Structure 1
Amino acid sequence: MCSRCKRLYPLGSRCEPCASAAARRREQKRKHTRPSAWARGYDSSYIKARAAILAAQPLCALCNSRPATTADHIVPLSRGGTNDIENLRPACGPCNFSRGNRTA
């Protein structure tokens, strides 16, 4: 019996149509995964600039109340920004993630 559609099927846990549909779903999910940080532009220059920014200013530049744990791009990479230290500011996770890719 097929575990998905409950049709009688002699071999395996799924009939051929359900197995094919499951394979298509897996392939679609694999295609829509997020690229790696390196592929999105967060390279060694970003890592060095982030460390310098967080060492220089320990508080979030957006809310000034929580400790900074991330470096926020003033002009996002997706909008033509760079990883230069002039384009970064310290931010806590909630403030940085709520901004998305908007320009400051």
Structure 2
Amino acid sequence: MCSRCKRLYLLGSRCEPCSLARAKRREQKRKHTRPSRWARGYNTQYLKARSAILADNPLCSICNPQPASTADHIVPLSRGGTNDIENLRPACGPCNFSRGNRTP
């Protein structure tokens, strides 16, 4: 019996139509995965600028009392921003991640 549609089937746990549908769903899911950090623009230039920003100012520029652990893009990369040091500011993780893709 097929575990998905409950039709009688002798071999395996799923009938052939259900197995094909599952394989198709898996393939579609693989296509929608997030690109790597490098593909999204977080390259060597960003890493160097990030370390310089965090060494210069160790406090979050958004909420001030928290120690900064990330470098926030003022204009996000997806909106045409760059990894230049002028476009980065220190931010704590919660402030940076809650801000998302928005411009200030």
Sort the TM-score into its range (normalised by shorter chain): over 0.9
2:71 aligns to what SS in structure 1? strand
Q: Which amino acid aligns with 2:80?
A: G
Q: Please give the TM-score of this superposition, normalised by the length of structure 2.
A: 0.95
Unmatched runs of 5 consecutive residues or more in structure 2: none
1:23 aligns to what SS in structure 2? helix
Other-structure match for 2:73: 73
RMSD of the alignment, in Å? 0.8
2:18 aligns to what SS in structure 1? helix
Unmatched runs of 5 consecutive residues or more in structure 1: none
Tell me how far 1:11 sits from its aligned partner.
1.0
Tell me how far 1:2 sits from its aligned partner.
1.1
Tell me how far 1:88 sits from its aligned partner.
0.2
Q: Please give the TM-score of this superposition, normalised by the length of structure 1.
A: 0.95
Provide the rounded CA distance (Å) in 2 between the counterparts of 1:29 and 1:66: 37
1:36 aligns to what SS in structure 2? coil
The sequence identity of aligned pairs, in percent, is 82
Provide the rounded CA distance (Å) in 2 between the counterparts of 1:22 and 1:8: 18
Runs of 4+ in 1 over 6 A off after TM superposition: none
Tell me how far 1:28 sits from its aligned partner.
1.1
1:9 aligns to what SS in structure 2? coil
1:35-50 equivalences under 5 Å are 35-50=35-50
1:1-104 equivalences under 5 Å are 1-104=1-104
Q: Which amino acid aligns with 2:81?
A: G
Tell me how far 1:55 sits from its aligned partner.
1.1
Tell me how far 1:87 sits from its aligned partner.
0.4
User: Aligned pairs, how many?
Assistant: 104
